[in-house]
Structure 1
């Protein structure tokens, strides 16, 4: 049963960005705050940046636009009242477009008169810091460069965020006037200006000449910023050995991410959530193809206005890749000013929580910790046989499986596996902030396997695409963990464990001499069961043991004959435990 949040834990937030206005109500109850669970959200496509250029040159925000903003804010005030949000927990944040507007003071005064809300105008430096914190909120850990692309500006810094501790450059974020809307306007002006006003360049095309001069200027600025940010030794080492990860936030970059998602090798891509989407540099810089795609086709989550900004974002992407060749991987973030502001209110202990575990905690039974410990003991530990578990299989992830493994128990038997498969993608965890795509896919497959049932067409294709976004090793161990959870769920049908008199214990080890011919390395799982318990008698366990061992059969390798799999052998020891 879902918990009803206390009104005191609800926070209403308005993020008045350059490209649009976002409204949200978030539950910051201590148990789940790390995943920033949003219980209400809305957006108005009011571009304060474009509104100031409605006559062709920059002017004040037109009164017509101000009136639209006031209507949207009063609607949100009503929504906050309906949800019971305390007036003291409502904030209005404004960034570049409001800060630089000619009539900023009058605009903010009208908002105050209409809503009784003061507008918090973030200084340029604070905007960059809060935006960076939005990126920190978007992942369990962050280590690399961070960029936020707004409508009027873009900021860059570095970040190392782990275990609740966040380090960024002492210089803060370095800001440039290269937002998606600003760049769109600037490139249009270059195309429309007379040849004599575009400078001289080697190129025979005056338009290309102007663009090349701008690109050269931007490259130099980004290179200089990279040096000025004073990266720590850990990031310098990564830059020189394997490359850095670039974390991107802001509407323009998110639009670019959705376009890349539409062209992913796994098609259609099974996780329609931008936060956590990851691509290699070679995919990130498909600028010509992506620009053509945006101009010619309708793509999920790409509005007409966002499509018009794609050539400008492509220009920026080309500049970035050439200016910062050490970038090798790109991760897209949902987190921006809204998420960063909320994340900044959390204490260090809450920030240190794994966002997936925080999101699933409300669904666990009273014995979830004991169930997680049992499942963890069923996984082989550190090995000496050149075998290992994927890094994604952590105690926090296993706890999330334990939390979720009874959620679908009340459903009809034939729908449990299907509902469980979708739960992390489009179900109850869809809004959980900070969860990686790998974690979502592995959790979906493990929870589906927990119910030991096939899924019907066309969902079998969806399941296959989830496997395809993972490594073969991750897919295999998802199957194993799911089978293990199926056994535990049968032995403990209500999810309650008597810690003094447990029915079941696991121990698992890597071993030689497994497989049909005894020539393979694999896992020996030992079940320590009570002699006198009907839930662990041979009749009760045999089919469940077969399901676990089936995972390790050669025909069930993930990725086909040449994919990944290890033999699984189950031993049963009956004793009084």
Structure 2
């Protein structure tokens, strides 16, 4: 029987208190199985002398009790609870911590700004194939900025300025925000961090944004542009798009922002200062573009707590870990069969790709698809190709761009050119010329490789390819005869010829 371990992570932020419950299985698979969110506005509720009042503490304790009940329902054996800027800055921090422990039994870790930057950067590095760039995490009461070079944090800063306390500081009480105030916010941010020379000596690097402000921006921009793919993790936008959205929202009073499509009501009064902070840093570092990161502190804490051994040293390692995790979560085929299909797919590709001048990244797409093409069988073996396409587009996995995820899903789920085109049609805006033809070529190759191990016995230990005119002779050296595989190869010959211009013929030698 599979053994599951459940861990609750609670992040007491200045704007929001969040819960995530993670499942970790005996075979190393992990996923989020429950979440909670409470708009706390702790920074906003601080008194002028830095006290967090009793009513706010009472609400916080009640929410923590609620989160504890959720964790207990799932059988979580461990709850790790941390707090960031609001409790870090509260003058009655010790009294609050004692009350929380007395009434809930939870020990709260107060994270320093440096801790926040480190944990956020670690979460990003574990889930994004980025080597160099700035990481910006805008919270309610603080903002952290880190510089990554070769996937290592070489500099970081935390400033006590976030979207909630900035709204309070500049008296943004629901009215439209003038351009003068926006400029003042930007100048304040840039003045605070102007002494950090490392922020201006690495221009044109991407800026990776974490936190609710950046996620809200991504949702707004995707809705505005009709972006066809709903995932925000890995979504890219320009500084101009950020500036345009800031100007548009700043001109509205908060009650109008509450009705703005795509913007949650509880962020309507803090989105403008949050975007102003983001734009100030984007302009200061002269970022080439903004990449949205959908993970954050909770994910970093889970990885640090439960998977400390996972330290991806390369961008390729991010993709490899995601593939491993998906296969472990949804073990629908013997790993030996998946490995055989992967080996045969890549052997065919390496021999044939030069004939068609395929782009270099196409091998990575085929490699990934060859290990995930059976994923949909976890829902139902019948129509598993359709389920595979859906799962790969809607399951959270990492290491590829949005376009590459769509193409990988198309290759892994390939069942014919007509279905392929129907699958890709909604995502046409994200695809490049020739992508459909490329996916068809790779999909046919994958299905042909799968047919060569139809008995799932891994009988073929070597295969030779000889091209004579329009004929592709495949000589399979196998441990026993392969009548089923020969029949499957014959059935695919017309489709293979249509995609690759070659008619395959499988011969088997046994010894």
Counterpart CA distance in 1 for 2:121 and 2:216 is 19
CA drift at 1:319: 2.4
CA drift at 1:478: 2.8
Change (3 A) 1:341 1:543: same
- From 234, 243, 265, the equivalent of 1:285 is 243
Bigger CA drift: 280-289 or 138-147? 280-289
Q: Which residue of 2 aligns with 1:379?
A: 349
2:497 maps to 1:569: no
Counterpart CA distance in 2 for 1:244 and 1:210 is 28
2:327–2:375 CA contact under 8 A, matched in 1: no
CA drift at 1:546: 2.4
Counterpart CA distance in 1 for 2:103 and 2:110 is 18
Q: Extract unaligned runs of 5+ from structure 1.
A: 193-205, 515-523, 552-566
Aligned Cα RMSD in Å?
A: 3.7
Counterpart CA distance in 2 for 1:190 and 1:420 is 48
Q: Which residue of 2 aligns with 1:49?
A: 43
CA displacement, residues 145-191 of structure 1 (integer Å, 9 cap, x when unaligned):
11111111111121146xxxx4112x4x2122331212323343699
- From 487, 510, 514, the equivalent of 2:448 is 487
CA drift at 1:138: 2.4
Q: Which residue of 1 aligns with 2:300?
A: 340
Q: Which residue of 1 aligns with 2:431?
A: 470
Aligned length: 493
Match of 1:418, SS state, is helix
Q: Which residue of 1 aligns with 2:482?
A: 533
CA drift at 1:16: 0.8
- From 128, 143, 152, the equivalent of 1:167 is 152
Q: Which residue of 2 aligns with 1:113?
A: 102
1:421–1:445 CA contact under 8 A, matched in 2: yes
Counterpart CA distance in 2 for 1:391 and 1:289 is 38
Counterpart CA distance in 2 for 1:190 and 1:208 is 16
Q: Which residue of 1 aligns with 2:230?
A: 272
Counterpart CA distance in 2 for 1:273 and 1:320 is 24
CA displacement, residues 521-543 of structure 1 (integer Å, 9 cap, x when unaligned):
xxx97643479422233x53244
CA drift at 1:385: 8.2
Counterpart CA distance in 2 for 1:93 and 1:106 is 16
Q: Which residue of 2 aligns with 1:360?
A: 326
Change (3 A) 1:508 1:322: farther
1:527–1:570 CA contact under 8 A, matched in 2: no
2:224 maps to 1:258: no
2:376–2:386 CA contact under 8 A, matched in 1: no
Q: Which residue of 2 aligns with 1:520?
A: none
Q: Which residue of 2 aligns with 1:218?
A: 189
Counterpart CA distance in 1 for 2:42 and 2:200 is 34
Counterpart CA distance in 1 for 2:379 and 2:210 is 38
1:50–1:181 CA contact under 8 A, matched in 2: yes
- From 255, 264, 267, the equivalent of 1:306 is 267
Q: Which residue of 2 aligns with 1:6?
A: 4
CA drift at 1:415: 3.6
Change (3 A) 1:37 1:507: farther
Q: Which residue of 2 aligns with 1:17?
A: 13
Match of 1:361, SS state, is helix
Q: Extract unaligned runs of 5+ from structure 2.
A: none
Counterpart CA distance in 2 for 1:207 and 1:491 is 67
- From 489, 493, 501, the equivalent of 1:545 is 493
Counterpart CA distance in 2 for 1:284 and 1:469 is 20
1:18–1:49 CA contact under 8 A, matched in 2: yes
Counterpart CA distance in 2 for 1:349 and 1:212 is 42
1:37–1:433 CA contact under 8 A, matched in 2: no
1:247–1:333 CA contact under 8 A, matched in 2: yes
Change (3 A) 1:309 1:373: same
- From 167, 181, 184, the equivalent of 1:184 is 167
Q: Which residue of 2 aligns with 1:64?
A: 55
Q: Which residue of 2 aligns with 1:416?
A: 384
CA drift at 1:421: 1.7
CA drift at 1:220: 4.5
- From 242, 249, 252, the equivalent of 2:210 is 249
CA drift at 1:289: 4.3
- From 450, 460, 468, the equivalent of 1:502 is 460
